[in-house]
Chains A and B, each alone.
Chain A
């Protein structure tokens, strides 16, 4: 512990020396990305260790480290520097999506189909209706909602509701990897989280399409929009299936550095999706939006369920997971815009508590109806708090579709998502521990037996 503390101080001092000693180069007016990455990796590594010692998840430490040293508090690196590193986040997201897909095992899903189905439906319905109702009820206290007529207020409230349903597979997987958790609680929560990641895209599109009619007078309901979305998802799954088959071939035949291959493939999928989308829209006047994360997820799912290499794939991914998580969550933390957070934090806090209450209620009801195991009944809500990337992505879409109201919704929900990002992993780690499925639980049990 003492060594870590000295290390931490040394890292900070070194950065201060670099900032204040001047440079031998005349042209160096911005901070080198190499230095930022080095600093991020080391500082987050140490902060993550402190959090772990305090019984908290490392990833919360990584996020907070990025937030504190980032452009809005200590300013060790600027927003521009963080933007330059965002491509690393895309790579990490692709990696996490591969991982998420390969964590889904058909056998396990079928085995736990009842709790999975009930919890997915129950929590979605309760959180959506609950948060929508609460936001609607307090809409007169929300300045930007005041001028809107009643139907528009309901529509806007439903946007808060639908985004509250989204979760974060990346955080869930990172916590599971960190705690080396295994068991029915772990697999149920993970399966629901990943399934929700796909469902939320469809539900969001549905809600947005209906809301357009209310918020933007003159709009018409576009059923084709939903159909096209389903079509896009199907294409992503098909592409993911073939990519998965290609990965199986690579594992089987080519003895190359797997970590580099998988990250390169992720990068390729990201770029290919954007390229294919813009190529088709330019040449065929069709707005095809291939979701790269769905492709990666489907590829991971294919490797796990349509080959005998699922475990090898996961093991190899695990070897490089720590650097990926550190980079991803630190950059995520550094990307949190505190200026936006300041403007919407009170309402954000209200929605944060409303969401958690609804998750608790929804989980309780669903597990009761499904007659789930006790540990799932008592702890499932703790696994559904995390929120991150996808929610922010959906928020950007809200701003794009409804620029006027969207910017206010974004300010409020960023505050909520930030809180969920920080509190969620703590909750899930605690839930895993209470369910007795972490590595520490297993060690304690074996100690007792001895």
Chain B
């Protein structure tokens, strides 16, 4: 009965939620940004979960695991299929280098600081502390696009190139998150925090490539222009489920396998746009369901909560600011870039959530601390990000016509 109620609530929310946006509502920019990131669904999950009404208890959440695996593979495909190398090459190469530098620096600063913190409080054994710090570093480096989207909707950047750079970093740094996550998974032993041998890492990489490329190849071989709507959807759904299922069965990451398969398809398949459209259509409901389940697993009563979250917020901010500063300084830009550009890239969500969901299914024992830190910090960053962008770019943006945050609800 609990499972039935959970399904009805989750499916209903996903259905309605996927049709509603809050961009034009009379809400503050920060609150709008929260809605775009989907944090309200995490809160709903929290309400339904063990810390709230207990409708989504541990058993019920476990029943949703096949869906989480499918959803993660879906997100991976969707992200990967947008990486058409031909298109990426049309953008300036130094953008990529700036993104890489900021990603690496943010990762190092957050991981090291969190490791020191975990080590000082001595709550976890060394190996677990390393795993937790690395995952936090990986989740910290990616930027959600929500705050930029909100700001762009209400304001116009005087220099569009600057806005393009910000958007580029926010879109591409997720790729670095996924890369680091892959390296982490290759060298760690799922379920435990033990470090694996090189041979095991190679096996992991080989199997991941296998779990990604075989379905992608099947998709290519099976694809033809004359497919009816239903046939195409069936094929793509089957491919995604097959990728996710194979990855899970082998103890790999559905997210990473999906990403690799998506990149392969993006660069080899002439029907990539059709596939992208289908994946985009399903993105929002799938994302909402995943967020609700993520929220349901959120344990509010953890001891380390406040100091750990504070340290994460401080060092993530520092990482982003220093990383972007270093990245920008390393290359001559054709247009002026303010040194504190990192303040405009603090928004958190999207890929970070995907990574912690994936981490949760592979490392259920360790995930509660990560979920706790990421979710609270995401709320904080989403609240302040649009205002930070505005205050930082005060002289570089013009308000678009119409009220700052007015208008009617958009459905």
Contacts and interface: CB of A to CB of B under 8 A. Distances in A.
Nearest to B185: A24
A271 B233 CA distance: 27
Nearest to A39: B242
Contact of B8 (A10, A13, A33, A268): A268
Contacts of B251: 23-25, 28
Interface in B215-274: 215, 217-218, 221-222, 228-231, 233-235, 237-246, 248-252
Contacts of B16: 256
B231 A42 contact: no
A257 B288 CA distance: 15
B190 interface: yes
Given A7-B218, A260-B11, A38 B250 contact: no
Interface stretch (A165-173, A235-243, A320-328, A403-411): A320-328
Given A256-B16, A256-B19, A268-B8, A38 B249 contact: no
A414 to B, nearest CB: 29
A320 B15 CA distance: 16
- 10 shortest interchain CB distances as A-B pairs: A35-B245, A24-B251, A38-B242, A38-B241, A41-B238, A322-B230, A25-B251, A34-B245, A42-B238, A33-B66
B190 A38 contact: no
Contacts of B191: 25-27
A66 to B, nearest CB: 14
A35 B15 contact: no
B7 interface: yes
Interface string B83-112: 000000000000000000000000000000
Best-surrounded residue of B19, B66, B243 (most CB of chain A within 10 A): B66
A4 B222 contact: yes
B190 A25 contact: yes
A276 interface: no
B70 interface: yes
Contacts of B207: 21
B240 A38 contact: yes
Given A41-B242, A323-B234, 13 more contacts: A14-B242, A21-B207, A25-B362, A27-B191, A32-B248, A34-B241, A34-B244, A38-B242, A38-B244, A46-B222, A322-B230, A322-B231, A322-B233
B290 to A, nearest CB: 14
B204 interface: yes
B210 interface: yes
The B contact surface, by secondary structure, is helix
Contact of A10 (B218, B241, B248): B218
Contact of A322 (B204, B228, B245): B228
B15 A10 contact: no
Nearest to B234: A323
A326 B234 contact: yes
B299 interface: no
A35 B246 contact: yes
Give the size category of B's interface with A. Answer: 35 or more
Contacts of B239: 38, 42
A267 interface: yes
Interface residues of A, number: 47
A28 B249 contact: yes
Contacts of A326: 234
Given A28-B251, A38-B238, A271 B221 contact: no
B72 to A, nearest CB: 10
A282 interface: no
Nearest to B411: A255
Contacts of B249: 18, 23, 28, 31-32, 35
A86 interface: no
Contacts of A26: 191
Contacts of B4: 271
B221 A21 contact: no
Nearest to A323: B234
A317 to B, nearest CB: 11
A261 interface: yes
Interface string A250-283: 0000011100110010011001000100000000
Contacts of A25: 190-191, 251, 362
A33 to B, nearest CB: 4
A40 B12 CA distance: 27
B137 interface: no
A261 B231 CA distance: 20
Contacts of A320: 230, 233
B51 interface: no
Contacts of B66: 32-34, 37
Interface string A217-261: 000000000000000000000000000000000000001110011
A2 to B, nearest CB: 9
B370 to A, nearest CB: 19
Contact of A37 (B190, B204, B241, B362): B241
A17 interface: yes
B386 interface: no
Contacts of A448: none
Nearest to B227: A322
5 contacts: A7-B218, A25-B362, A33-B66, A42-B218, A42-B239
A17 B18 CA distance: 38
Contacts of B242: 11, 14, 35, 38-39, 41-42
A319 interface: yes
